Amino acid sequence: MTARVCLVTGASRGIGKAVAERLAAAGHDVALTARSREGVEAAAADVKERNSGRAVLGVVADLTVPADVERMFTEVERALGPVEVLVANAGSGSAAPLVETTDEQWQHMIELNLTAPFRCVRRALPAMLDAGWGRIVVVASVVAKRGESLVSAYTASKHGVLGLVRAAAAEYAREGVTVNAICPGYVDTPMTAETVASISARSGRGLAEARQALARRQPIGRLVDPGEVAEAVHFCVVNGAVNGQGINVDGGAVQS
Ligand SMILES: NC(=O)c1ccc[n+]([C@@H]2O[C@H](COP(=O)([O-])OP(=O)(O)OC[C@H]3O[C@@H](n4cnc5c(N)ncnc54)[C@H](OP(=O)(O)O)[C@@H]3O)[C@@H](O)[C@H]2O)c1
C-alpha cells in the first residue's frame, strides 16, 4: 500500500499508541498527539525505534481547546504533509449515577468524546477531498451501541460520535473518503486500569479480583488487547469498501 500521512490522537499510551505502532509497521508516516509532552515524546520515540524508516512526529495538543486542534493539524502538515489517515482516538470515561452526574462531567464527556472528533474530522476532510482519498477512523466504544449503567454521559457521547461517523460516511462516500468507528469492549489499557481501581475501591475487592470480574463480563472472558483494536483500525485503512460502520471489537458483547 502507498505510504500515507497518519494522525493518531491520544497516542501516548493504550489504544492510540498501539494504532500508531500498527500504522508505522505498515509503512506509513505517523503523527502521535496527546496533552502530556513527556508521554507523547516517549511514545513517538518508541514507535520510531521499532520503525526506523518511517517519519514519526509527536505533537502536544489538548483536543478540548479548538486552537490546539488547528495548531496540531498545521504542525503535522508542515512536517509530514496533509493528513490522509485520521484516527480520532483520544477520549476518556467518567462514571456516576445519572442523578449525580454534574453539568461539568456531562460537558467534558461531550467536549472530548464528541466535539473534539467533530472538529478533527471537519479539519481533516478538505485535504482528503482535494486528494480524492482519505480514511477516518474514530475509536468509539461498545457503549456507542448499547446503554450501560453508571456511564450515561460517556454512553451519550459515544452514541453521538457514532452518529457523526455514519453521517460523514454517507456525505463523502463518493469522494474516496471512508469514515468508520471501532467499538471496543474493555481493553487492557491505563483507562481500564483506572476502572479496575475504582471497582476495587467501591467493592473492597483486590485489584486482581476486580480486573478478573471485568474480564469475565466479556463473552471471551478476557480483556481485549490494544493490538486487536489497532488491527481493526488498520483494516479500515486498507479496505475502501467498508464505510459508515461501527466495528465491534468486544469479544462478542454486542452481536450486530
Ligand atoms: N480502554 C477501554 O476499555 C476502552 C473501551 C472502549 C473504548 N475506549 C476508547 O478508546 C479510546 C482510547 O482509550 P484508552 O483506553 O487507550 O485510554 P487511555 O489509556 O486513557 O489513553 C488516552 C489517550 O488520550 C489522551 N488524551 C486524553 N485526554 C485528552 C485531551 N483532552 N486532548 C488530547 N489527548 C487526550 C491521553 O494522553 P494525555 O493524558 O497526555 O492527554 C492518552 O494518550 C478512548 O476514546 C476510549 O473512550 C476505550
Residue 118's domain is classified under what CATH number?
3.40.50.720
Alpha-carbon distances of 49 from 8, 89, 230, rounded to whole Å: 18, 22, 19
If asked whether residues 117 and 131 sit together in one domain, one would say yes
Q: What pLDDT sits at residue 204? A: 93
Q: What pLDDT sits at residue 44? A: 98
- 22 within ligand 1 shell (Cβ under 6 A): no
* H-assigned helices in the chain: 14-25, 37-50, 66-79, 103-110, 116-131, 152-172, 190-203, 207-216, 226-238
> Is residue 14 within 8 Å of 226, Cβ to Cβ?
yes
Active-site residue, selected from the candidate residues 106, 154, 172, 186: 154
Q: Residue 78 falls within a domain, yes or no?
A: yes
Pocket test for ligand 1, best of 189, 217, 218 (most atoms within 8 A of CB): 189
Report CA(74)–ligand 1 centroid distance (Å).
22
If asked whether residues 236 and 218 sit together in one domain, one would say no
Ligand 1 closest atom vs CA 229 = 10
If asked whether residues 83 and 140 sit together in one domain, one would say yes
If asked whether residues 179 and 196 sit together in one domain, one would say no
Q: What pLDDT sits at residue 219? A: 97
> Which residue's alpha carbon is at the smallest distance from atom 46 of ligand 1?
91
Instruction: State which residues form the domain around 193.
Output: 188-223
If asked whether residues 22 and 46 sit together in one domain, one would say yes
Q: What pLDDT sits at residue 210? A: 95
Residue 97 corresponds to which cell in the numbers above?
449515577
If asked whether residues 30 and 110 sit together in one domain, one would say yes
Ligand 1 closest atom vs CA 186 = 3
Sign of CA dihedral 232, 247, 169, 20: negative
> Is residue 52 within 8 Å of 25, Cβ to Cβ?
no
Residue 66 corresponds to which cell in the numbers above?
479548538
Q: Residue 231 falls within a domain, yes or no?
A: yes
Number of domains in the chain: 2
> Starting at the edge strand that comes first in sequence, how are the strands of the sheet with 177-184 ordered?
56-60, 29-34, 5-9, 85-88, 134-139, 177-184, 246-249
| pLDDT tens for the chain, residues 1 to 256 | 799 999 999 999 999 999 999 999 999 999 999 999 999 999 999 999 999 999 999 999 999 999 999 999 999 999 999 999 999 999 999 999 999 999 999 999 999 999 999 999 999 999 999 999 999 999 999 999 999 999 999 999 999 999 999 999 999 999 999 999 999 999 999 999 999 999 999 889 999 999 999 999 999 999 999 999 999 999 999 999 999 999 999 999 999 8
Task: Tell me which residue of 237, 231, 181 sits closest to 28, measured CA to CA.
Answer: 237
Phi, psi (rounded to 5 degrees) for 74: -60, -45
Q: Are strands 134-139 and 29-34 parallel, antiparallel or unpaired?
A: unpaired
Q: Residue 151 falls within a domain, yes or no?
A: yes
If asked whether residues 72 and 161 sit together in one domain, one would say yes
If asked whether residues 125 and 32 sit together in one domain, one would say yes
Bridge partners (DSSP) listed for residue 135: 85, 178
Q: Residue 113 falls within a domain, yes or no?
A: yes
Q: Residue 30 falls within a domain, yes or no?
A: yes
Establish whether 186 is a catalytic residue.
no
d(CA 228, CA 237): 15
Report CA(3)–ligand 1 centroid distance (Å).
26
Q: Residue 254 falls within a domain, yes or no?
A: no
